[in-house]
Amino acid sequence: MSSKESIIRQPLVTGENITYAKVTDDILLPVENKPNKAWWIGFTIAGLGALLWVVSVGYTFWEGIGVWGLNKTVGWAWDITDFVWWVGIGHAGTLISAVLLIFKQNWRNSINRSAEAMTIFAVICAATYVVAHMGRPWLAYWIFPIPNQFGSLWVNFNSPLVWDAFAISTYFTVSLVFWFCGLLPDIATVRDRATGLKRKIYSILSLGWNGSVKTWQRFEIVALILAGISTPLVLSVHTIVSMDFATSIVPGWHTTIFPPYFVAGAIFSGFAMVQTLLLVLRKVMNFEDYITMFHIEAMNIIILVTGSIVGIAYLTELFIAWYSGSEYELYAFQNRIGGPYAWAYWSMMTCNVISPQLFWFKKIRTSIPISWVLSIVVNIGMWFERFVIIVTSLHRDYLPSSWAMFYPTWVDVGIFVGSVGLFFTLFLLFLRFLPGIAVAEVKMLLKSSSLQHKKKQIEEGLFPADQVEFFKERLDMYDSVTEEEISEIQN
C-alpha cells in the first residue's frame, strides 16, 4: 500500500531503512529482552515509592483518617487534590486515542499506547483515593446502587459523589477495554515471536488474534466504536469531577465555569504527563524515530492552548467573583490572592498560566529539555490548582469562627509521593511486558507518513521544488534527522 500524502505534512516516522520487521524489532526490544540497568534503577525507586504508598494507606486504614491533617473545617485536602490531579492526568490517554482517532490525526499512532496506559494507571491511582479518603473504606461498595439486605437502602442520585463513582468506573472500564483491544495485534506479534510459557500467556492475552482480514476489519470497527463511546467520556468525567465542587454551596466551589475549565485543565495536565513520560521513554528506549519532534511540538501546542484556556478561566473566575456582588464569593477569591495560602495561588498562576506561554516560541517548544521541565512545572501547577480550589475555599468559608488552616502530616505526603511511585511502578511494568508503542499502528504510517516514504516520493519527483524546500526546512527541528540526511533529499 502506497499512498500519496502531501509533502507539506511532516513525517511521523523517521529513520533509514525502516521496514515492518525493523519496527517490530525496535519496539519489542524491551519486551523481548532482559531489562537494562536504567529500567531496574527506575523500577527500584518507583517500587520504594509504591511501598511507601502501601505503608501510608495501610496506616490510614489501621488508625483512621485522623492520621491525616484534616480538621473540622477542611474535610478534604490532599486526598481529593491528589484524586482530581490523577483523574486529570488520566485524561490525555482517551483524548489521544479516541478524539484524535475520530479526527484522523494519525500522529497519535506512536503515542497513544503509552498515553492510554498512563491513563489507566492514573485512574487507578485516583480510584485509590476514592476509597482511602473514606472514614470507613470497608464500606466503599455502598456508593453503588447494588441490591442489599439492608432494606430499601439506595444511593442518593442527587449527590455528585455518586455521579463521580459512575463516571470514574465507566471511564476506567472503557479506557481499559480500549487499551486492551488496541493491544491485541501487538500481543499477537509478541506471541508469535515468543516461546514457552511466555508464548502461552501471550496466546491467552491475544484472544485468538489470527491476523486475518476479518480480524483486522473487526479490530478497526471496534476501535471506532470505542472511540465513539469514549469521546463523550473525555468531557464527562472531568465535568462530573468538577461537579463535586460546582454543585456545592462553598464559595469558590459553587461556580458554573467549572466543567469546561476542569476539562481543559485535565487535558492540559494529561498532555504534560504524556510529555514527561515520552521524552524520557524515547531517549531510554531509542524510540526517537517513532516519537519525533513533530509529536513533541504538537503536544506542546496542545499544552499551550489548554493552558491558555485554563488561564482565561482563572481570570473569568476573578471577574465573576467581583461581578457577582456576593461578599462570600468575593472574599473567597481575595483570600486566594492575598490570604494565608496566597503562595499556593501564585504558584498555580505561575506554573499554569505563565509557564505554558513560553511555548509560543518555537525554539522552546522544540527544545526537549525545556519541554520536559515545563511539562513537570505544568503538573506541579495543576496540583496546586486543585489544592487552591479545595483547601483555600474550605478553610475560610461562611462563618469566620470556623476558619482554620490545614497542615499536612507525613501520611498525607506519603500517600501522594507513594501514589506517584505506584504509578511509575505500574508504568515500568507495562513497558517491560507490553509494547510501549502501538506496533501495528506505527506500521500503518510507514507507507504514507514516514520520512523514508516521503523521500522516495520526492525522488520520484511527485512534488514541486518549493514544497520540497518547505519540507526540508521543517525537517530542521527533528533531532532524529541529521543535517546530512536533509541535504541528501533531492528533488
Partner 1 sequence: MGSNKKYWKGLEELEQTPAFVEKSKGEFSESIPVENVLNEAGLSTKTPRRDFLKTLGFGLGAVTLASCNRTPIRKAVPYIIKPEEVTPGIPNYYASSFNGRSVLVKTREGRPIALEVNADSTDINQGTDAVTAAAILDLYDMSKLQDPQLDGKKTDWGKLDTTVKKALKKANDAGKEISLVSRTVNSPSTLLAIAKLKEEFETVNHIQVDPVSYSGIIQANKESFDKAVVPTYHLEHANVVVSVAADFLGSWLDGQRHTQDYIKTRDYKSLKDGKMSRHIQFEAGLSLTGTNADVRIAVKPSEEAAVLVSLYNEITGSSQSGALSTNKKAQTAIQLAAKELKLNRGNAVVVAGSNDAQVQILVNAINAELDAYNQIIDLESYSKQYAGDDASFKKFVDDAHAGRIGAAIFVDANPAYTHYKAEEVEKAIKNIEFTVSLSDRKDETASLANAIATSCSFFESWGDASIREGFYTIVQPTINPLFNSRQIEKSLLAWAGDRETSAYDFVRKNWEENILVDSGKSWKEILQSGFFDNTPSESAAPSFSGNVTDAINKATQAAKEIAGDIELHLYEPSVMRDGHHANNAYLQEVPDPVSKVTWDNYAAINPKFAEELGVKEKGKIKIKANGYEADLPVLIQPGQAMGTISVALGYGRTKVGKAGNNVGINAYPFVSEINGNKRFTVKASAEKTAGIYELAQTQTHHTIEGRNIIRETNFQKYLEDPSSESGQFKDEHKTYDLWNKYESPGHKWVMAIDLNACTGCGSCIVACNVENNVPVVGRDEVRRRREMHWIRIDRYYTIEEDDKKYTKEHDIKNVEDFENVSVVHQPMLCQHCDHAPCETVCPVLATVHSSEGLNHMAYNRCFGTRYCANNCPYKVRRFNWFNYWNDSRFDNYLNNEFSQLMLNPDVTARSRGVMEKCSMCIQRIQAGKLEAKMENRKLEDGDIKTACQVACPANAIVFGDLNDPNSEVSKALRNERVYYVLEEINVQPNIGYMTKVRNTFEA
Stretch that binds partner 1, among 1-9, 63-71, 305-313, 440-448 (CB under 8 A): 63-71
Are the C-beta atoms of residues 365 and 359 closer than 8 Å to each other? yes
Cβ–Cβ under 8 Å, residues 17 and 452: yes
Tell me if 391 sits within 8 A of 36, measured CB to CB.
no
C-beta of residue 345 within 8 angstroms of C-beta of residue 321: no
Q: Which position among 1, 21, 197, 399 is part of the footprint of partner 1 (CB under 8 A)?
A: 399
Name the one range near partner 1 by CB under 8 A: 2-10, 240-248, 362-370, 434-442. 240-248
- Closest CB 161 distance from partner 1, rounded Å: 4
- What angle in degrees, to the nearest 10, is found between the helix axes of 78-89 and 258-284? 70
Dihedral pair phi/psi, residue 438, rounded to 5°: -70, 105
Q: How many residues bind partner 1 (CB under 8 A)?
A: 49
Per DSSP, the three-state class of 284 is helix
252 binds partner 1 (CB under 8 A): no
d(CA 488, CA 491): 10
Interface pick for partner 1 out of 38, 153, 225, 354 (rule CB under 8 A): 153
CB 462 within 8 A of CB 4: yes
Quick one: which of 398, 459, 461, 488 contacts partner 1 (CB under 8 A)?
Answer: 398
**Cα separations (Å) of 347 from 336, 354, 442?**
11, 10, 39
- CB-CB contact of 428 with 40 (8 Å): no
Min. distance of Cβ 39 from partner 1 in angstroms? 35
Site string for partner 1, 191-230 (x = CB under 8 A): ----------------------------------------
**Nearest distance in Å: CB 76, partner 1:** 6
Of 155-163, 299-307, 354-362, 435-443, the window that binds partner 1 (rule: CB under 8 A) is 155-163
248 near partner 1, judged by CB under 8 A: yes
Contact 130, 87 (CB under 8 A): no
Contact set for partner 1, span 327-346 (CB under 8 A): 327-328, 331
Count each helix (H run) and each strand (E run) in the chain, helices first.
21, 0
Convert residues 362-381 into a mask of x (bound to partner 1 by CB under 8 A) and - (unbound): --------------------
Between CA 371 and CA 365 the distance in angstroms is 6
Given the C-alpha cell 518547505, which residue does it identify? 470
What mask, x for binding partner 1 by CB under 8 A, covers residues 402 to 431? xxxx--------------------------
Distance, CA of 477 to CA of 465 (rounded, Å)? 20
Instruction: Using alpha carbons only, give the angle 334, 339, 342 rounded to the nearest 5 degrees.
Output: 95
Q: Is 143 in the site for partner 1 (CB under 8 A)?
A: yes
Least distance in angstroms from the C-beta of 345 to partner 1: 17
Per CB under 8 A, the segment of 97-105, 246-254, 360-368, 451-459 that binds partner 1 is 246-254
Please identify, using beta-carbon distances, which residue of 251 and 311 lies nearer to partner 1. 251
Contact positions vs partner 1 (CB under 8 A): 63-66, 69-73, 75-76, 133-137, 139-140, 142-143, 153-156, 158-162, 165, 244, 247-250, 327-328, 331, 394, 396-405
